[in-house]
Amino acid sequence: MERTVRYSKKREAILSAIQGTSCHPSAEWVYRQLKPRHPDLSLGTVYRNLDFFRQRGQVQSVGVVQGQERFDATVTPHSHFICNCCGSVSDLPGIHPETGLEQAVSSQYGFAVERCKLTFYGLCPSCLHQDQNFKEESSS
């Protein structure tokens, strides 16, 4: 028996919050974002709904960044860049793994591939500049 899904104002707000930002938020971020307008929102509800959305494929996980899981409402294939310094997550439209790789993994290794993540790590422009400024200061 399938579970009946009911409407909920909080759930709607949570999904909107994720869809309305490009920051690939954590549960905490969503909570803080909505708390002012939904004073009785609880963090548990945010977690429960993030899980709900993920199971239904409305949201996907970008992975754990600096200890917190980050979410993405864009479920069409695209890659990410994650800054090792500030933890910001950015989309990289136009950057894709070679087509046929999933197929190659299946046939060569016998795995049933469902999904593929391509993620780049390094420094974002902002952290890069700060890093350079710091180097200049300390060398003087």
Q: 109 is in the binding site of which of its own copies, DNA, none (Cβ under 5 to 8 A by kind)?
A: its own copies
Footprint (CB under 7 A) of DNA, residues 3-42 = 3-11, 26-28, 38, 40-42
Q: Is 95 in the site for its own copies (CB under 8 A)?
A: yes
3 or 115, CB closer to DNA?
3
Q: 32 is in the binding site of which of DNA, its own copies, none (Cβ under 5 to 8 A by kind)?
A: none
Q: In 3D, which of 5, 108, 134, 117 has the Cα closest to residue 61?
A: 117
43 or 95, CB closer to its own copies?
95
How far are the Cα atoms of 5, 78, 94, 99 from residue 91, in angstroms, in the given order?
Answer: 31, 7, 9, 19
Distance CA 29, CA 17 (A): 9
Compute φ and ψ for 44, nearest 5 degrees.
-60, -40
| Two tokens, residue 85 | 């310094």
Bin 28: left if φ > 0, else alpha if -120 < ψ < 50, else beta. alpha
Among 36, 56, 57, 67, binds DNA (CB under 7 A): 67
Among 20, 44, 77, 122, binds DNA (CB under 7 A): 44
Q: Are 27 and 34 in contact (CB under 8 A)?
A: no
By the criterion CB under 8 A, which residues form the site for its own copies?
A: 63-64, 81, 83-84, 90, 92, 94-95, 97-98, 101-102, 104-105, 108-125, 128
